[in-house]
Amino acid sequence: MSETEPQAESTARSSATTTGETDERIREEWSDYSFAGEAKLSVEDLDVYYGDDHALKDVSMDIPEESVTALIGPSGCGKSTFLRCLNRMNDRIKAASIDGSVELDGEEVYQDGVDLVELRKSVGMVFQAPNPFPKSIRDNITYGPRKHGDLDTGLLARLTGRDDSETADELVRRALEQAAIWDEIEDRLDDNAMGLSGGQQQRLCIARCLAVDPDVILMDEPASALDPVATSKIEDLIEELAEDYTVVVVTHNMQQAARISDQTAVFLTGGELVEYDDTDKIFENPESQRVEDYVTGKFG
């Protein structure tokens, strides 16, 4: 995933930052985007470096709640890096250094004393390749809550009468129904998740993410490893989820972004956010020439 990006970055950097003048022009274009209501996530002047590579340059954007925000752009443009900053998954990459501010409901994410457990409970993530644990479907769903101590179905709990098995069953059912996969796997909850098809695995991963009850769901190209039928199921699901959750989706596929998202941010090579606006506007009448070239397929 993002490990591959730094290499692409270095070649692209020189071409993107030709003059300071273009940077200014682009900046004015996107910063006007405004929406009604509070921002769920608010990013301010975010810079990310992988060693010497400047992977993300001075990105600022506000993400409204209960909507789908698509991040599009060519490979290596920093969109996955941006996504992984929102739940601090980039902390896991040793070479990455992050500068700037990300606020979740007005609370700064990058400050001392942030509880990563709580942060990642509220900001869940779904990855490009389906990555269910090699456990039963039920265990996959209950994994997060059990590890957070919200569910206890262990032997000791059963003996002492504090058994949460019923809550767990309800949770499994709710999560799988929300992920639109309950009907397909209802009677095989104790089978190993590795036996599901790719599309089912990905919806299971979404259900696993929903089980910890997040506010925001980050998805890193969630359908790029799937066939068209599974992809359309995932897309329908994303649109449904946006009624209750704030969804941020990274995608390569511009048609997908146009279909499912409410607003779209276009990253271009060099790690800049070039334009961020309503999806219709981005695809029909973008401000920036470069974005128009990109969405019409002339470039990228």
Partner 1 sequence: MASATDTSVVRGDTSTYETVAALTVGLAAVLFFLGLAATVELVSITGTLAGLPTLTTLGLLLVLMGVAVAGFGLLSYRGVFPTDPRASAGVVAGGLFAGLWGLIGALVAAETLGLGVVGAVAGGLVLGAVGFFATALPREDIGSTLPAGALAVFFGLVFLLGVVGPEWSWSPANFPDAQAVTFFAATVAPFAVMASSLVVGWAAAKAYGGFGARGRHLGAYLLVYLNAVSIIGVLVALVAFVVFKGFGPVTRGVEIGLGVGPATTIGLFGFGFDIVWPVSWPFLMNGASLFTDITGVFPAIVGTIWLVIGAVVLSVPLGVGAAIFLTEYAEQGRFTNVVEIATNALWSTPSIVFGLFGAAFLVPRFTPQPQKSLLSGMITLGFMLLPLVVITAREAMIAVPDEYRDASAALGVSKWQTIRSVVLPAAMPGVVTGVILGVGRIAGETAPLLLTMGGGSFVGAGQRAKVLDGFQLSLSPPFVTNPELTQAATALPYQLYQVILTGTGETAGVNDVTAFGWGTALVLLGVVLAFYAVGIATRQYFRSKLTYE
Q: Rule CB under 8 A: which residues touch partner 1?
A: 87, 89, 92, 116-121, 124-125, 127, 129, 131-135, 143-144, 147-148, 191-195, 205, 208-209, 212
CB of 281 to partner 1, least distance (A): 32
CA nearest to 144, candidates 117, 165, 178, 173: 117
In the complex with partner 1, which residue's Cβ is closer, 125 or 295? 125
Question: In sequence order, which ranges of the chain are alpha helices (DSSP H)?
Answer: 5-16, 20-31, 79-86, 116-122, 137-147, 155-159, 165-178, 182-185, 198-211, 228-241, 254-260, 279-284, 289-295
CA nearest to 27, candidates 281, 295, 296, 276: 276
> What is the C-alpha to C-alpha distance for residues 129 and 224, in angstroms, rounded to an integer?
8
CB of 287 to partner 1, least distance (A): 34
CA nearest to 300, candidates 15, 7, 67: 15
In the complex with partner 1, which residue's Cβ is closer, 33 or 133? 133
Pairing outcome for strands 216-220 and 246-251: parallel
Quick one: which H or E segment has residue 251? strand 246-251
In the complex with partner 1, which residue's Cβ is closer, 123 or 230? 123
CB of 46 to partner 1, least distance (A): 19
CB of 156 to partner 1, least distance (A): 16
Output b/e per residue, 203-224; b: 16+ Cβ within 10 A: bbbbbbbbbbbbbbbbbbbbbe
CB of 149 to partner 1, least distance (A): 10
CB of 71 to partner 1, least distance (A): 17
In the complex with partner 1, which residue's Cβ is closer, 71 or 217? 217
In the complex with partner 1, which residue's Cβ is closer, 110 or 143? 143
Do 23 and 72 touch, CB atoms closer than 8 A? Answer: no
- Rg over CA atoms, the chain: 20
CB of 120 to partner 1, least distance (A): 3
In the complex with partner 1, which residue's Cβ is closer, 76 or 124? 124
Residue 91: CB atoms within 10 A of its CB come to 13
In the complex with partner 1, which residue's Cβ is closer, 107 or 118? 118
